[in-house]
Structure 1
Amino acid sequence: MKKKVLITSFDLEIGGVERSLINMLNSFDYKNYDVDLMLYSHTGDFMNLVPKEANLLEECSDYKTLRMSIKSIFDNHKYKLGIDRLLARLKAKGNGIAQMQYIWKYCLPHLPKMNKKYDVAISFLWPHYFVNEKVDADIKIGWIHTDYTKIDTDVDMDIAMWQKLDYIVAVSEECKSAFLTKYPNINKDILVIENITSPKLIQQMSCEKIDDFNDYEDTFKVLSVGRYSDAKGFDNAIKALRILHDREYKNIKWYIVGYGGDEALYRNIIKENNLEEDFILLGKRTNPYPYMKKCDLYAQPSRYEGKAVTVGEAQILGKAVMITNYKTAKSQLKDGVDGYIAELSVEGIADGVEKLYNDVELRKKFEGNCRNSNYSNEMELQKLYELF
């Protein structure tokens, strides 16, 4: 008899966590497990990538309110949830991360429970209150995708939440280590399961034709992919490109595939540095792989990461990769072998790009080592099945 598995997340907007979830769903063992997918909001460009084998549950309008504006909640006559959101905003005092915790705390009593019993419930996106409080399951698992030492959570609330899970999964050893640095007294088993990648699918999708990526021979194209947010460090990348142009590397252009709340900030910094023609925000793209395939260097200028999905995807496509020395960087690549780790600063980013621009042989070495490496890791899911 198949075991019943529930997997939950918020939506399928374009992002690393969402891409990781899609890859996991497309690699799951549906012969042995019946999988229900609970998304609080049926939105996002990845919705059409959910495999038909996964049973997408009906959207619940109450859970969708968790990221709606307070005005919209009242306009939809959900007054209790609207008041809960106002309380969460007041309690958080401007701390956006903690506000997410308080939203759950205050809204939880007014949110419905699942009416189905599961063998396993997986909460793929923090915070994990839904699986803890609203799902009846024999085994409950919560995922760690980021460096928790870099985000300002309400620690006491978080510890109480994590302790209710049976198992915790981190996407890298360094991600696990950072988590235990912040929460040293968590007494749950923490397992490392890497983000699932499918080289065959990535290679296929990289062949899609694109017409908005500068393909002139004399242009050195740097590419980054990610949300427009503080964590990704794209503001530092803009300033680094200004330094590179001041060093007379004027044929270097930097492209960003992504979207998010910091777009206006980035555009202001781009304008202040007179880089309107050279630092290009390409916007949201469901398929970033053709851009990766055509770039000369893939760069991840992040301030912190759990494990950046896009770095591994660029390596699958045989690209030279540069990342900053964030806390979990050494779990991402082998420095000097299949990529380069630059100092985490504006100057460090500029120096790293300059080094890889000038050292063609080093770039070729990285590209060759990436092409000769096997980045397929679908067997990582066996670790998860063992928990079941």
Structure 2
Amino acid sequence: MKELLIASYDMEVGGVERSLISMLNNFDYKNHEVDLMLYSHTGDFMNLLPKQAKLLSESKAYKTFRMPIGKILQSAKLPLALARLFAKYKANLNHSHENGYKQLQYMWVYTLPFLPRLKKKYDVAISYLWPHYFVAEKVTAKTKIAWIHTDFSTVDTDEELDFQMWNKFDYIMAVSEECKNAFLSKYKALENKVLVIENITSPEFILNLAAEKVDSPIFQDSRFKIVTVARLSYAKGIDNAVKALKLLKQKGYDDIVWYVVGYGGDEGMLKELIKQNGLEDQFILLGKQLNPYPVMNAADLYVQPSRYEGKAVTVGEAQILSKPVLITNYATANSQVKNGFDGSICEMSIEGIADGIERMYKDKEFRKQLSHNCLDTNYHNSHELQKLYQLI
């Protein structure tokens, strides 16, 4: 019986968390004893964790990563609070759209001396969400594995620090071939460590949840319905989606409505943008939802307007629900859909998104064909876990 540790942040509603739940629910517990380390025991997905995975006690020190600095000061953890303040200061020296990545990275680097080690020793330790400093520095294991969920060629990090951290792992798992290639464009020296394991998807789980009854205005809406499920952040391109819908409205498409399920730091900006463009009745933010699948299932078209992705979990879920899918041409787009077969790829611009939607809106037969091809495709891929078992 191999002893494994899997570490991540929390179980808030998100694509990475959904993929972790799928992996844990499809895991081989007959041959593996699994401990799960969550830095914070929070999030709506906590009750979806399988009982076979042993949830380790919450650590007060690691829980601070999900707390505001003021609250850390109140809890008398001065060194951790000062390290967080310095991380924020250093990240803000070079401002970018995603300087939160650098802040998170520096936060780990500067707090490491004040964080406890895990006493138990493991055969394998898996760090599921970047930055992977906990498993790299605070866990003893014969084999260490880190996961890549995003397109690292587009992410602004301190590359030297990042390389040192990645190099402490025996294997690095990318969720798609394109995700792997994007990572290696930045960290070529790590090529012999990087393998591909796709996000585990469970069609039965998604189809069952999609059949549940939920309360949403989308079910009474007779207009052409677009749905996006995403974090409200720069990476997901929801601001471009608002502007694309404005273009379509100017062209006379008044019967298109766009529903977005998700939450995040850009919510205030997006609400203002929707108001500025007079789209309050056509671009509707539904907020965080534990079960987004009934809303996805009600869509005439699923759109992923992202600026970059590793491999968007939600796109695969929309395909499982046999929805016609439109995604922007981000670097890893070809790992998501076979263009023209089970989805369509449009140019990554406001005009490109608008043109892609217009084509889908006009061509009902094309939408039907995409849906039919999705229905005929088997998206169950729990066999991907065999790659992980071989390494273990």
The two structures have a TM-score, normalised by structure 1, of 0.98
| 2:2 alignment counterpart | 3
Indicate the residue corresponding to 2:29 in structure 1.
Answer: 30
- Partner residue in 2 for 1:190: 194
Secondary structure of the structure 2 residue equivalent to 1:215: helix
Q: What residue in structure 1 maps to residue 242 of structure 2?
A: 238
Counterpart-to-counterpart distance in 2, 1:334 and 1:272: 36
More off after superposition, 307-316 vs 204-213: 204-213
Q: Is 1:308 aligned with 2:312?
A: yes
Counterpart Cα distance in 1 of 2:378 and 2:365:
22
- Rounded Cα–Cα distance in structure 1 between residues aligned with 2:219 and 2:199: 31
Query: Is residue 338–residue 366 contact of structure 1 (8 Å, CA) maintained in 2?
Result: yes
2:361 alignment partner in structure 1: 357
Query: Match for residue 204 of structure 1?
Result: 208
One-letter code aligned to 1:25? L
How many Å apart are 1:258 and its aligned residue?
Answer: 0.3
Aligned to 1:18: 17
* TM-aligned CA deviation for residue 176 of structure 1: 0.3
Name the residue aligned to 2:123. Answer: 119
Q: Distance in 1 between matches of 2:141 and 2:177?
A: 27
* Structure 1 residues 108 and 336: CA distance shift in structure 2, 3 A: same
1:215 is displaced (CA, Å) by 3.3
- Counterpart residue number, 2:345: 341
**What per-residue deviation string (whole Å, max 9, x for no partner) do you get for residues 240-294 of structure 1?**
1111111111110000000000000100100000000110000000111111111
The separation in 2 between residues aligned to 1:243 and 1:322, in whole angstroms, is: 17
Say if 2:110 is the partner of 1:106.
Answer: yes
2:5 is paired with a residue whose SS is: strand
CA distance in 1, matches of 2:20, 2:167: 23
The more displaced of 179-188 and 223-232 is 179-188
Find the residue that maps to 2:190 and give its secondary structure.
coil
In structure 1, how many angstroms separate the alpha carbons of the residues matched to 2:294 and 2:31? 35
CA distance in structure 2 between the aligned counterparts of 1:173 and 1:208, rounded to whole angstroms: 34
In 1: Cα distance, 2:359 partner to 2:104 partner = 41
Answering whether residue 147 of structure 2 is matched by residue 148 of structure 1, we say no
1:76-120, Cα deviation, whole Å (9 max, x unpaired): 000111111122122222532111111111100110000101000
Q: 35-44 or 89-98: which moved more?
A: 89-98
Counterpart of 1:24, as a letter, is: M
> How far 1:64 moved relative to its partner?
1.0
Give yes or no for contact 2:9–2:39 (8 Å, CA) kept in 1: yes
- Cα contact 1:163–1:188 (8 A) shared by 2: no
- Counterpart residue identity of residue 108, structure 1: L
C-alpha spacing 1:269/1:115, structure 2 compared with 1 (3 Å): same
Q: Which residue of 2 aligns with 1:261?
A: 265
Cα deviation, residue 216, structure 1: 4.8
Q: Would you say 1:229 and 2:233 are equivalent positions?
A: yes
Unmatched runs of 5 consecutive residues or more in structure 2? none
Q: What are the Cα deviations for residues 158-203 of structure 1, in whole angstroms up to 9, with x where unaligned?
A: 1101111000000000000000001112254211000000001111
Range with bigger deviation, 62-71 or 23-32: 62-71
Q: Distance in 2 between matches of 1:211 and 1:152?
A: 39
Q: Provide the C-alpha distance between the structure 2 equivalents of 1:216 and 1:113, rounded to a whole number of angstroms.
A: 53
| Conserved 8 A contact 2:327-2:346 | yes
Determine whether 1:157 maps to 2:161: yes
Distance 2:272 2:85 in 1: 31
What one-letter code is carried by the residue in structure 2 that aligns with 1:350?
A
- Of 275, 283, 289, 1:285 maps to 289
Q: Counterpart of 2:217 in 1: which secondary structure?
A: coil
Uncovered stretches (5+) of structure 1, i.e. residues with no partner = none
Q: Distance in 1 between matches of 2:390 and 2:192?
A: 16
- SS of alignment partner, residue 36 of structure 1: strand
Taking a change above 3 Å as real, the CA distance of residues 179 and 281 of structure 1, as seen in their structure-2 partners, is same
The Cα shift of 1:68 comes to 1.6
Query: Which amino acid letter does the alignment assign opposite residue 58 of structure 1?
Result: S
8 A contact 2:218–2:298 mirrored in 1? no
Question: Contact between 2:216 and 2:295, CA under 8 Å: does it hold in 1?
Answer: no
Tell me if 1:248 matches 2:252.
yes
SS state of the match for residue 201, structure 2? coil
**What is the aligned residue count?**
387
Q: Tell me which residue corresponds to 2:41.
A: 42
Give secondary structure in 1 for the equivalent of 2:145.
strand
Equivalent residue of 2:314, what SS?
Answer: helix
Alpha-carbon distance in 2 for matches of 1:51, 1:139: 24
Name whichever of 264-273 and 215-224 sits farther off: 215-224
Structure 2: which amino acid aligns with 1:278?
Q
- Is 1:369 the counterpart of 2:368? The answer is no
Question: Would you say the 8 A contact 2:23–2:200 is kept in 1?
Answer: yes
CA distance in 1, matches of 2:89, 2:256: 46
SS at match of 1:114: coil
Structure 2: distance between partners of 1:198 and 1:96: 32
- 2:51 corresponds to: 52
Partner of 1:214: 218
Moved more, 204-213 or 221-230: 204-213
User: Would you say 1:63 and 2:62 are equivalent positions?
Assistant: yes
Alpha-carbon separation, structure 2, partners of 1:217 and 1:57:
45
User: Relative to structure 1, is the Cα distance of residues 379 and 274 closer, same or farther in structure 2, using a 3 angstrom cutoff?
Assistant: same
Among all aligned residue pairs of Structure 1 and Structure 2, give the percentage whose two residues are the same amino acid. 60
